Amino acid sequence: MIRSKTRNYLVAMLGFSLFALLLLTHFLEFPLLTTAGIPEPGANGIASATSGREEAFTDVVAAFRKWDKKVGCERFREKYRRWTPNASVLQEAEGSGCRGMELSHVSVLIKGWTWIPDNLDRLYSCRCGLSCLWTKSAVLADKPDALLFENATPPSKRKKGDPLRVYMDLEASRKHSGFEDIFIGYHAKDDVQTTYAGALFHNNRNYHVSPSKKNDALIYWSSSRCLPRRDQLAKSFLSLVPHHSFGKCLNNVGGLNMALTFYPECSATGGAAEDPHWYDHLHCAMSHYKFVLAIENTAVDSYVTEKLFYALDAGSVPIYFGAPNVADFVPPNSIVDGSKFSSMKELAAHVKSLAVDPVAYAEYHAWRRCGVLGNYGRVRAASLDTLPCRLCEAISSKGGKLAGNR
């Protein structure tokens, strides 16, 4: 009786000591997530918590393993459990149910010169039993329900029975033509929203992702439209951090098209390598860098372009200057939002400290490894990839050609 009591006591003591030890190591071993509340992206003091032990690293998967040991998905998920991005920056890809859909088939004819790639052309099977023919061919859609214009102006007049006029402008200014029945833009308030998080522009490119990241140059940048504001911003930041600039603007790698010289494994897949474009190996080249600098040409709400999504796809961490509400479009702790820092010096110090801290750096990749996405899944669901069905559904809801005029 007594002996078993003593044993119970010993077991309890042992359990308690183990518990205390665990608690202690918890605090010693998990410095990253001890800050209360949800930090600003990119300014969460992660690096300062790592006891100044610098560790240059190149193996990104090894960095992930270290993060798994020190932090782990469970704690990451818990930290962002109550983090709720603004849901209204996105239209519901699922629409508002099937009520109000008046047609069972819709055909859309794309008119004039457009950025919309040819490989979007096909017959789609959409929600609510709707079929949707999307084509640039006036042979395949000789009696279209709608005409889509991007760089051309729609007809100024339309009578009942004529195709609906759809106008698309994905630029920051969201300029309407004045004659359209349906407007497509990147903003949730447009008739049909289309985000830049699509994949179809990128077919036939090289998608190799490098397992190792460079230490001599930390940032990838490539810009070929040298806008003064963007160049100035890039220069003031890049001058503080070792980087490679591949494009026309502030090029520092000895000329254009150097990516394939640096990274031969990035040459285009499929077919002969006749005249590769810089964007054919963009993804692969980016993947060699810990960071990719992405600067929008205009910083307005919800204008988040492919520059950012491409860097995320390539397994890099975007350093972003653009939409003030970008956090509503990306997974938590997936980007460094440059505008959240009080100076370029402070931003550069943060970036450099992450580059020598495998655990803090790996945390910027935790979202994809732990499945913590914020709005990101919906952002991808509302991209150009799914535009045909979503537009056909909108056309159907209006009644197609039988719709009256506004």
Binding site for ligand NAG (CB under 6 A): 86, 88-89, 188, 301-302
Are 163 and 345 within 8 A, CB to CB? no
Distance between CA 148 and CA 392 in Å, rounded? 11
Q: Which is nearer to ligand NAG, 49 or 188 (CB)?
A: 188
The CB-of-214 to ligand NAG minimum distance in angstroms stands at 37
- Using CA atoms, how far residue 268 sits from 198, 246, 284, 317, in Å, is 20, 17, 10, 23
Taking the complex as a whole, the smallest distance from the CB of residue 234 to ligand NAG amounts, in Å, to 27
Minimum separation from the CB atom of position 229 to ligand NAG (A): 24
What is the nearest approach in angstroms of ligand NAG to the Cβ of residue 367?
21
The neighbouring-strand residues paired with 319 are 293, 336
Q: Min. distance of Cβ 188 from ligand NAG in angstroms?
A: 5
Residue 51 or 88: the one with the smaller Cβ distance to ligand NAG is 88
Residue number, 190 or 306, with CB nearest to ligand NAG: 190
Cα–Cα distance, 37 to 17 (Å, whole number): 30
The percent of the chain in helix, strand and coil, each rounded to the nearest 5, is: 35, 15, 50
Q: Nearest approach, Cβ of 324 to ligand NAG (angstroms)? A: 10
> Which CB sits closer to ligand NAG, 60 or 323?
323
Dihedral sign for Cα atoms in the order 54, 60, 62, 67: positive
d(CA 298, CA 225): 13
Residue placing its CB nearer to ligand NAG in the complex, 86 or 297: 86
Cβ proximity of 317 and 347 under 8 Å: no
Cα separations in angstroms, 287 against 107, 250, 320: 40, 20, 16
Give the closest residue to 135 by CA, choosing from 153, 152, 118.
118
Tokens read off for 180:
């359209």
Tell me which residue has its CB nearest to ligand NAG: 86
Closest to ligand NAG by CB, 12 vs 87, is 87
Q: Of 44 and 302, which has the nearer Cβ to ligand NAG? A: 302
Name the minimum Å distance from CB 230 to ligand NAG: 24
Question: What single string gives the DSSP state of each residue in 236-265?
Answer: HHHTTS-EEE-SSTT--SSSSS-HHHH-GG
